Each structure stands twice: as C-alpha cells, then as structure tokens.
Structure 1
Amino acid sequence: MRHIAIVGSGPAGYYTAEAAVKKWGEDVRVDVFDRLPVPYGLIRTGVAPDHQSIKGVSRRYEKVALAGNVRFVGNVSAGDDVTVAELQQFYDAVIFATGAPEDRKLGMEGDDLANVYGSAAFVGWYNGHPHFANLDPDFSGRHAVVIGMGNVALDVARILSKTDEEFAGSDIVAHALDLLRGSRLETITILGRRGPQQIMMTPKELGELMHLRRASPHVDKSDLPPEGDDAILEPGLRKSVTLLRDFAAIPQSIHGETPISIEFDFFASPRAIHGVDGHVRSIEVERTTVEAGRAIGTGETYELPADLVVSCIGYRSSPVEGVPFDERAGRFANDEGRILPGLYCVGWAKRGPSGTIGTNRPDGYGVIDLVDADIGLGSRKRGREGFDELAEARRLDIVTFRDWQKIEEAEEAAAREGAPREKFVDIESMIAARRP
C-alpha cells in the first residue's frame, strides 16, 4: 500500500490525486490537505466571479474527492498544525500543490500607501477569500491604475467597470458588490511596460471589454505597430492585437457615451507611487521602448492620477519551514518536481505562476510517475492512521469533504437571486455551517 499526502486542494492537487488513483487503483491512500476548510484553491478564490463556466471544472475534482481512497483534510495547515517532517513520517510521498498565493511585490516607493493592493489580495477580496475579506478598498476617487498586461489585470478592470445587472449569475461576494455600487471611478488605466505585441492577454478576456455597459476600452493608435507586423505572431496573440486595433478604432463619440474609460497605456513602466496623508494620489511612470523583447527606460517620465492602484505583476509561492525554497523564482526549489527524497511539488508551486488550469493535469500525472519510480510498492508507513492519531492528540478540527458539501449547500441556500452561491468569507462561519 502506498500513502500519499498532497498539500493543497486546487487544480494541481486534485489532478495529482486523480493521477494517483489511476496509477495505483486500490493500492493507494491519498490525503489532500488544505489550510482552509473549503477545497478547490484558485477555482474558488482566484477565477473571476463572472466566469462561472471555468469554475465548472470543480465537478471533476469532486468525483476524485469522493473516491473511497481519497480524503479531503481541510482546516489543517502543513507547516503549522503539522510539520512537514511529521507528514513524511506517515506518508511515502508528500507533494506540495500549494500554488502561488502571494503577490510579487512592486518594490518601489509608495507601494505601501493606502489603496495600493496586489492582485492576490484584491482578487481575494472580491472572491471572498477569508484572508482578504476585510480589505475595504476606497472607490470614492475618480482614477484607478491597474499595473500589468495579463488576464488578471483584465479581470480587475472588468470587475471595477461592471454594473449591478452585469454581475447577475456571478458569485461575487456581497461585501464587494456593496462597495462597488458606490464607486465613482471614471478612468481605469491598464499600465504595461512593453507594447501591444508583448501582452499576455487572451482574446476571450479582451473581447469582454467590448460588451461592458458603462465602460469602453481605448488604445492610442500611435502605440500600435504597423499592421503587417502582426503576421509573425502566434494566432492567439494575433487575435488579441487585432482586438486592440479594434479598440483604437472606436469613435470618440462612443467613449463619451460611457461613464468609465478603460485606457491602455503601453510602453509605460511605473517608477514610484505618490500619496497625500498616506493615501495614494498618483503614480510616476517612465516611457519605455522595446528592444529584443525587453522594456528599456527612455528617461522621459510623467505622472498619472491614481486614487486606487492594483498591481497584477505575478505571484509567488509561500515558503514552508523545512522545504527548500527558491526566493528568486518564488517557488519551491526542485528538479522537475523532486524537492528532497519523499518530498515533491507540482503546479505553480513547482514551475511558478504560468499556464492555464488544464496545464496542471499533465503536471499532476508527471509527478505521480516520479513518485512511482521513487517509492515502488510503498513502505510500511502508517499513512492516514498515523496522522489521525496526531490530529486527535492535537485536537485539530478537521473538515472533511462531506463537511464541505454541507458548507456548499448553505452557501447555495444563502445566494441572492440569480447567483449560484453566497460564499462564507470567514473560517468560523464555514466551520459552523457544516454542523446540523
């Protein structure tokens, strides 16, 4: 019998559990740990609340979680409630699938001012992550700046722009919806160091900006390269750049009809954030040029008004005591998924924040092949039996998958009209909801 511990219950975690069951059948026991009482990681707290179709992949993970030899161990923090060394005593392999839940820091003057947020915190706030539920952003100003040229920046800009009616069918949490109703934003500037042909935005997400009721996107035509240059781009990026050209062609009269303008500011690198009385008021930007794909500062600077700043420049994994960590890369130090004997990582914890949800599937299957090669038929370790004895001795309050289903039922019952659920945004309420 093989005993596997997976730390993290997001896509990487459940694809890895699925791979383990397919590889070994009844000859494996898999425990999937999560520090929160609820599963699915970024499917729950990272995917935009108005992208419900993407969240449907959780049904696949549910089938895995309900397999007889897979167990969800929620509300248990590996590294705090139980050490990594203790997990290794009980399990043949411990696999970190913890993702990259921390923001990459801007690392510039003023990044600690009030109303300056990283996207992990800001997205977590409107998605109901318990660690960010009390964020309380201020939307009384007129100008927001979103730093970054990926889909997360688009998500943030779109959420800031939508009307109440446009959130129908989404699971944006009530506290975020209430604050956004009072927003006085008029401009949302999306700031990117490089040019249109270097964006990481995908066509679907870009295209959504064309259908917002109270906002319209704008691109300065002078930022666009000659149209013939698009021919060398890969098809997805070519479609995205074509959409940017469509934005540039929107008549000024259309912009005048919408109260919010979404401005794409290319070749613009943030240099400092300035504030008054501790609150952000502007951002200093340096004009850049792109050479060999890299943004090079020109020395020309200008100031953008900014009452709210959201930095969407990437994520980092969280270090865990006893697990080697690559500080520069922001992920666990590993060789193709191997960290140390018996210790592995998968997904963003392995490769950094790149790829789609589906990218984690081959990653999960790949790490199980490594584990299979390393542990063979397994050992005489005690697996979940040993962990359960430790958990009882420490009085850990474990949340099971059946408990989660009760939490989910309570969230669905509390949903506003048209919404799929109203998430609990604090751990105490989640745990209370599992009880009759």
Structure 2
Amino acid sequence: MPHVITQSCCSDGSCVYACPVNCIHPSPDEPGFATAEMLYIDPVACVDCGACVSACPVGAIAPDSKLTDKQLPFIPLNAAFYPERPAGVKLPPTSKLAPVLPAPQIRRSGADLTVAVVGSGPAGMYAADELLTQNRVRVNVFDKLPTPFGLVRAGVAPDHQNTKGVTSLFERINSRTGFTFYLNVEVGRHLSHEELLRHHHAVVYTVGAPNDRRLDIAGMDLPGAGTATETVAWINGHPDFADLTVDLRHERVVVIGNGNVALDVARILTADPDDLARTDISDTALDAVRNSAVREVVIAARRGPADSAFTLPELIGLTSTAEVVLAAEDHDLVQQDLAGASDPLTVGKLEILATLPVASQTAARPRIRLTYNLTPHSVLGDERVDGIEFRRTGTDEAVRLDTGLVLTSIGYRGAPITGLPFDDAAAVVPNRDGRVIDPATGNPVAGAYVAGWIKRGPTGFIGTNKSCAMQTVSNLVDDFNAGLLTDPAARPALLDKLIRCRQPDVVDTAGWRAIDAAETARGDAEGRPRVKFTEVADMVAVAAAVPEPPIARRLLAGLLR
C-alpha cells in the first residue's frame, strides 16, 4: 500500500527528510526541486511507514487505498516520475538518502544574534524557524497587516483548505522562545531600514512580489477591468481589497492568462455557493457568488495548449471538481501539440485536455472554458467593460467576446524597498544567495538580506520558500560569526517602546491569537473553518481587548530582551 502525494503538495520538503528509504523526489538538493510542480513518492520503493504523512504540513499524503475518487489520478502521476526497473529492485540504481543540511551554528561569543524579518508569509516564517534553531537568537517579525502568514491567508483559494493548513506549522514557530510579532507595523512608514539596523544585527526582507504585471492595452482603465490576484484577495477577505468591486451581473467573465491563479478565480466564480459556504471565503464574496449571473468563465491564453502555464496537479484538481470545456478549434490545437510533445508533464496536461468535452452553446451549470492562441488587443466599452477583442496569435483575425468583467493574470512584480537597491528589470532586490548586493560596487550591503519572491522572483510554491530561506539564513549566520554584522546600537527594550510610540495599534502575538480565536469562533457558529474580519479597525479592536500582562512581567520581559 504505497503512499501518494496529491494536489495539496506545497514542496516544503519535510517529507523528503522524514522518509527512511529516500523514495520522495525531487529532494531539495536536486536540480529540479525549485521548479518541480510537486513532489512524488516512488510506489515501488515506498515501505508504507507513514513517516511522510506526519511530516507533511498540508495533509497532502495518503495511502493509495484511502484516496478519494478525485485523487485517484495522482497514483499514476506519482509513479510516472520514476524510471522502470527490474523486478525485485526497490530503488533506482543512483538512489541515495538526501543530505540533511545542518542548521547554522552560532559560534561568535558575546551578544545574541538579533534579526528583524520583514514580512510574515511563508518565506518570513521559514526564515524565523531556521534562525530559531539556535538558542542565542531573537527574531522580531514585522508585517503591515494585523494578521500574519501573507499569501497563505490571502492568496490561497478558500476551497484549498488543506494547503492553508501549513499555518499550523507557522503557529508552532511563533510560539518558540525568542520569537516576537510586530503586526500592523509597516516598515518604511512606522520604522525605517536604518532604524531596524539600530536595533538588530540584520534585516531579512521577505516581502514577496506584491504588484501585478499590468496588461498595456486600451480599455484596461475601464470599470470592470481588474486582476485575478486582486480578485483572489477580495475572495479571501484581504482588508486592502475588501471593498473591491467585482461585478458578477454578466453571464461571462474573461481571465487573460492561464496560470494557477487564473484557475483559482475561474473555479471559485463557477463553484456551488453551498460548497464555498463551508470554507473561509469572505462573506462579501460568498454573497456575490450566491447572486451571480455568471454562466461561463473563459480562460484565454496567448500561446497554445502545450505552453499552458497551469500545473498538472491543478489541472487534475480543476477537471475533477468543475465543468471544463474546450471549443472545437482548441481541441484541434490540443491534438496537434500532443502529436509533438515529449515532456511527461506536458503530455499529461495535453492528455487531460484531450478528454474535455466540446463547448456547447448553452451550459447546464456555470462552466470554465479554456481557449488558446488569443492575444488581447483591446478592452471594449464606453462607461464600463462590455467586451474584449483578441487577435488570433500570429494573425490579424479579430475575435470578440462579450463580457462584463475582464481579469488579467499574467504574473507578478516585486516592489522597491526604501533604503535598498532594486533591479527594475528583474523586479527583485539584487542579491547573491540572499545577501543584498550594491550593484554599483558588487559588494554586499551590510546587514541586509532577502528571501522568497523578492529574492528569486515569483517562482515556486509555498514550501519552496523553506530551502530559499535556509540559504539566506545560513549566509547571515556565517556573516555574524565572521564579525561582519554590526552590533545593535540601541538596547533591545527600546525597540518595543519606539514601535508603540509610532504605532499605538501594534498587534503582538497575543493580539493575533485573540483575532484568530474570534474568527474561528465565528466560523464554528456557521460550520466553517473561520469567518474573517475584513476591516483593520475590527482586528485591532479584538487585539486591543487582550488584557495587559502584569507590570512585573512586562518589566522582566523588557530586561530579558
């Protein structure tokens, strides 16, 4: 009974190290790890010990006999990653246990290492985890929102609750000695980079790639034109997008770009509202879907089926839960691409696309239509969007689709950080393995580090940030041991005083736990994982109601810091 990794895989890699027979690949030390769509269990080598199940932070692994019907396609998908071998041979001939990277060791005598981490998403939490493997480390994590965990909270689709389960790992991290949250504190507004360095040996920026790449065509400024990323944030109740206007009064929505986020939006906008009512979708979005007139979401790609940007696991998940169709001409494109495809993942996608039904004129239920070789030309409308015009890619043939909502999903860009250099072309902070580099001199910027998308660009999955953060932290600790990091000029206790002076509404760990408890209690009352607060003021009010610790304990905490 071999175990199987399913769609929820976050590529954390913890399962790799837990496996006693090295049957999970690619491992973090292998070249394909950073770009793999998921990890795979070798069904021949698996000894059914279940160690990987315990190690997985998102519940993505199960015995093949306990998979749901929707998960059954992942049995051959896992197996296809591995080469065939003679009968009786359990492991591939080159198999060896993945090397467990040693935790960075603090060897420098004197003051404890104090690090500020800016951003509390996966990269920030993994960086904090890696730093706190040592006793002589203190980590202060800053986030501009009153709630932590970044895109796990606000970017993962609400019907992917297993994926959101990685927050249980992050909660264990923020409970560790030496960890402090400063939420609802914006670096660059309440505190500067220079001020952070006065109170820390180093600052690690894990701020992601917060900006959408914009489509530069006429009409994108019309009401009814937006981005898939903003729409997912609205669906998830992100306070910056809680008041976003998402008009679902029309029968068709068009999404430009066909990555996983495009699939997320299409799946949510065509889902059964009663199914969504069992998730943590925002109340506003749930009401909008209940009253939606949408019958079709068209996902339009500039290139052909073989170049589809969505991953194979996401396509399997989509086609098992939603009605997905192709036009007859797109079926022809699939067959053409399938005839010349050799990459296993590409072949897998094309084989699934080839089984999709041909789109009819009417839809019995809201559906998703994948379409290809359409280059966006202009968004149409006077006072608001009423259509979009494409060109058949490589031709002058015009194709018009009537729609009241056009969403782009064509990628992300990092944003400049005040006080640090920025590579505008790559939209990242220039760095060498996480050390921020001054492009004018080629030298490291003292005390400045990056991890996550602001370091490497918008690639990989939630768990990919673990190995990324490990590399950055290893170099940071090496620099500390070598005496390259300046000791903080200000006493640690003064940091808390400064922050509370600049931002009286700071939310600490106790405040976040109060928000979390209130949201889950609201969810319990409705049979949902949680009902989120979507207004910052409401979150701050809940956090502020937490009783202050006794003054003696506060004084002791200040002395220990």
Tell me the TM-score normalized by structure 2: 0.72
Q: Residue type of the partner of 2:227?
A: G
1:303 equivalent to 2:414? Answer: no
Deviations 1:134-162 (A, max 9, x none): 00211111221011111100000001101
CA contact (8 A) 1:324 1:333 kept: yes
Shift of 1:379: 4.7
1:313 equivalent to 2:410? Answer: yes
- Counterpart of 1:406 (choices 503, 510, 514) is 514
- Count of equivalent residues: 419
* Map of 2:147 onto structure 1: 38
Residues in 2 aligned to 1:105 and 1:302: alpha-carbon distance in whole angstroms: 21
Deviations 1:209-244 (A, max 9, x none): 33446x4432531121253423x11x3333222211
1:222 equivalent to 2:362? Answer: no
SS of 2:142's partner is: strand
SS of 1:332's partner is: coil
Shift of 1:181: 1.1
Residues in 1 aligned to 2:355 and 2:258: alpha-carbon distance in whole angstroms: 17
Q: Residue type of the partner of 2:126?
A: Y
* Map of 2:316 onto structure 1: 207
Q: Residue type of the partner of 1:411?
A: E
CA contact (8 A) 1:269 1:287 kept: yes
* Map of 2:287 onto structure 1: 178
- 1:265-280 matches, within 5 Å, as 265-277=371-383, 279-280=384-385
* Map of 1:356 onto structure 2: 461
Residues in 1 aligned to 2:202 and 2:243: alpha-carbon distance in whole angstroms: 37
Q: Percent identity?
A: 37
SS of 2:514's partner is: helix
CA contact (8 A) 1:218 1:261 kept: no
Shift of 1:384: 4.0
* Map of 1:347 onto structure 2: 452
Residues in 1 aligned to 2:369 and 2:198: alpha-carbon distance in whole angstroms: 54
CA contact (8 A) 2:209 2:457 kept: yes
* Map of 1:262 onto structure 2: 368
422-431 or 318-327, which deviates more: 318-327
58-67 or 317-326, which deviates more: 317-326
CA contact (8 A) 1:194 1:267 kept: yes
Q: Residue type of the partner of 1:184?
A: A
CA contact (8 A) 1:76 1:396 kept: no
- Counterpart of 1:281 (choices 386, 395, 402) is 386
Root mean square deviation, CA, Å = 1.9
Tell me the TM-score normalized by structure 1: 0.91
SS of 2:396's partner is: strand
* Map of 1:294 onto structure 2: none
Residues in 2 aligned to 1:44 and 1:384: alpha-carbon distance in whole angstroms: 30
1:137 and 1:392, CA in 2 relative to 1: closer, same or farther beyond 3 A?
closer
CA contact (8 A) 2:301 2:371 kept: yes
Shift of 1:360: 0.2
Residues in 2 aligned to 1:147 and 1:349: alpha-carbon distance in whole angstroms: 24
* Map of 1:147 onto structure 2: 256
- Counterpart of 1:331 (choices 425, 428, 433) is 428
1:109 equivalent to 2:218? Answer: yes
- Counterpart of 2:478 (choices 373, 382, 386) is 373
SS of 1:43's partner is: helix
Shift of 1:207: 2.5
SS of 2:375's partner is: strand
Deviations 1:285-336 (A, max 9, x none): 1212xxxxxxxx3233222212101111111223222121222222223233
* Map of 1:10 onto structure 2: 121
- Counterpart of 1:49 (choices 139, 155, 158) is 158
Instruction: Name stretches of at least 5 consecutive residues in structure 1 with no aligned partner.
Output: 289-296
Deviations 1:1-48 (A, max 9, x none): 1110000000000100111112xx111110110000111000000000
Residues in 1 aligned to 2:338 and 2:230: alpha-carbon distance in whole angstroms: 38
Residues in 2 aligned to 1:178 and 1:39: alpha-carbon distance in whole angstroms: 26
* Map of 1:293 onto structure 2: none
- Counterpart of 2:201 (choices 75, 87, 92) is 92
1:226 and 1:98, CA in 2 relative to 1: closer, same or farther beyond 3 A?
closer
CA contact (8 A) 2:205 2:450 kept: yes
Residues in 1 aligned to 2:491 and 2:404: alpha-carbon distance in whole angstroms: 52
Deviations 1:119-148 (A, max 9, x none): 221111010000000002111112210111
Structure showing the higher strand proportion among its residues: 1
Shift of 1:369: 1.1
Residues in 2 aligned to 1:79 and 1:172: alpha-carbon distance in whole angstroms: 31
Shift of 1:354: 0.8
Shift of 1:108: 1.6
115-124 or 200-209, which deviates more: 200-209
Deviations 1:344-403 (A, max 9, x none): 111011111110111100001000111112222665314743422322432532211221
* Map of 2:504 onto structure 1: 396
261-270 or 59-68, which deviates more: 261-270
Q: Residue type of the partner of 1:394?
A: R
* Map of 1:71 onto structure 2: 180
Deviations 1:175-205 (A, max 9, x none): 0010111111122110111111111212332
CA contact (8 A) 1:315 1:353 kept: yes
SS of 1:341's partner is: strand
Deviations 1:229-282 (A, max 9, x none): 23x11x3333222211111xx2667x85623332211111112111122x1111
Q: Residue type of the partner of 1:258?
A: A
Residues in 2 aligned to 1:236 and 1:433: alpha-carbon distance in whole angstroms: 47
1:245 and 1:395, CA in 2 relative to 1: closer, same or farther beyond 3 A?
closer
CA contact (8 A) 1:140 1:185 kept: yes
Residues in 1 aligned to 2:231 and 2:126: alpha-carbon distance in whole angstroms: 27
SS of 2:250's partner is: coil
Residues in 1 aligned to 2:358 and 2:416: alpha-carbon distance in whole angstroms: 49
Residues in 2 aligned to 1:223 and 1:132: alpha-carbon distance in whole angstroms: 38
CA contact (8 A) 1:120 1:315 kept: no
Residues in 2 aligned to 1:26 and 1:61: alpha-carbon distance in whole angstroms: 19
User: Who wins on radius of gyration, i.e. which is larger?
Assistant: 2
